[in-house]
């Protein structure tokens, strides 16, 4: 890795590597992330900084399936799937009623794009 001239940064107590400059970017409050996305595959499952490891089986099945997830306010809070033009959510993270209301708003907005 020394040949690649990688730089390091510490993220949640873990050393991460990158090339070049890190540009600041704003993340949207909510993203519907596809299964097998790099946010899910780019980290060791138990070291993924976007969810509590106790929810590992909500996202990764024992048969190797990686479920689509909802990225909300910097963390994975639910899985989702399409069913006949609608989106079904399975919320696994503890969220407040206000957050659930906001998530439902994003859910409805995304559903309209199908």
Q: Per residue in 49-79, pLDDT tens?
A: 999 999 999 999 999 999 999 999 999 999 9
- Whether residue 1 is predicted with pLDDT greater than 70 in this model: the reply is no
Cβ count near 110 (within 10 Å): 15
Residue 18 lies in a domain: no
Q: Is the pTM of this model over 0.85?
A: no
What whole-number percentage of the chain has pLDDT above 90? 71
Question: At 108, which helix (H) or strand (E)?
Answer: helix 97-112
Residue 2 pLDDT class (50, 70, 90 cuts): low
Paired tokens of 102: 């906001």
- Total of domains in the chain: 1
- Whether residue 46 is predicted with pLDDT greater than 70 in this model: the reply is yes
Cβ count near 107 (within 10 Å): 19
Residue 19 lies in a domain: no
| Domain span holding position 91 | 26-112
Residue 54 lies in a domain: yes
Residues 6+ apart with CB under 8 A from 93: 51, 52, 55, 75, 76, 77, 78
Terminal Cα distance for the chain, rounded: 43
Residue 20 lies in a domain: no
Residue 8 lies in a domain: no
Residue 65 lies in a domain: yes
């Amino acid at each position: 890795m020394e040949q690649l001239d990688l730089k390091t940064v510490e993220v949640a107590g873990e050393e991460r590597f990158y090339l070049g400059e890190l540009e600041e970017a704003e993340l949207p409050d909510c993203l519907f992330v596809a299964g097998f996305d790099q946010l899910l595959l780019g980290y060791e499952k138990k070291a993924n900084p976007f969810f509590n490891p106790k929810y590992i089986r909500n996202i990764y099945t024992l048969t190797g399936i990686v479920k689509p997830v909802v990225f909300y306010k910097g963390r994975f809070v639910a899985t989702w799937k399409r069913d006949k033009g609608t989106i079904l959510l399975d919320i696994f993270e503890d969220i407040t009623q206000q957050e659930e209301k906001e998530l439902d708003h994003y859910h409805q907005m995304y559903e309209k794009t199908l």
